[in-house]
Amino acid sequence: MRLPDLTDLALSETTIAVRVSPKASRNAIERKGGEMRIYVTTVPENGKANAAVIKLLAKALGVPKSRLSLIRGETSRDKVIRID
């Protein structure tokens, strides 16, 4: 799995809007223009997909998972994540 380099977004107090596709065939992040799509293989049950999104995004950003927090879209495909 190859992730894009998103270190340019890893600034404190930055918010990132993403569209999530759970139950995908692979874990991946696609960034086209101002839109970001995250594909995770995890099912959307009990926050498992959200945890997978945070883990994948933290790896691509080069920051610890503890710096990321989901501020909107817990049960939606459209999410907003903040970097603390």
Q: What are phi and psi of 9, to 5 degrees?
A: -95, -5
- For the chain, domains (ranges, CATH) are 7-83 (3.30.1200.10)
Q: Which residue has the higher pLDDT, 13 or 19?
A: 19
Is the pLDDT at 12 greater than 90, yes or no?
no
Residues 1-10 have a mean pLDDT of 83
Q: Are 83 and 56 in contact (CB under 8 A)?
A: no
Is the pLDDT at 2 greater than 90, yes or no?
no
Reported as a single tens digit per residue, the pLDDT across 19-69 is: 999 999 999 999 988 899 999 999 999 999 999 999 999 999 999 999 999
Is the pLDDT at 1 greater than 80, yes or no?
no
